[in-house]
Amino acid sequence: FAYVADGRNGLKVVQLTSPDSQPNYYGFSPPPVPELIAFARTPKPALALSKGLDRDRAVDETGGQMAVFGRIGSRPFTRSEMERFYLNSQGKPYFVKDKPDMADWVSAVPAKLARRPQ
C-alpha cells in the first residue's frame, strides 16, 4: 500500500500489488500495478504525511516502561520482563474464554458489605 498526499485532491490510498491485479504477485519483486482503493478530501491541501510512532516495548534507564526507543540508556525488555505480561503466577499463559462464566465474576462490593441486615 502507498499513502499519498495529493495536494488539493486530499489523501489517497493506493494498492500497489495484489493477487487479483498481478498474476506474478508471489514472484520475486513483482512489478507494481497501482490501483486507487480509497481517498478522502481534506479541508486544506494534503502536502505531506508523517510516519506513526513505532510501538516497540522498551524500558528506560530506570526500568520504567516507555513507548518507543531512542532515549540514551533505553533497552528492549528482557525475557523475564516480557513474561510478566502474559504468564500467571504459576508460569502458565493467560487465556480468554469465549463465553463468560459467572463463577469468575468478582463483585466490586465485598460480600459482607453486600448483605444488609433486615
**Where in the chain are the domains?**
2-40, 58-103
For 56, phi then psi, to 5°, come to -70, 145
Position of cell 519483486? 29
In this prediction, residue 95 carries a pLDDT of 83
Kindly list the averaged pLDDT for each block of 10 residues, start to end, along the chain of length 118.
91 86 69 88 90 63 66 73 86 83 67 57
pTM: 0.42
In this prediction, residue 26 carries a pLDDT of 65
35: helix, strand or coil: strand
In this prediction, residue 13 carries a pLDDT of 92
In this prediction, residue 36 carries a pLDDT of 92
Q: How far apart are CA 17 and CA 93, in angstroms?
A: 38
In this prediction, residue 27 carries a pLDDT of 63
**CB atoms < 10 A from the CB of 102, how many?**
5
DSSP H or E segment with residue 109: none
Nearest residue to 57 via CA among 48, 46, 49, 65: 65
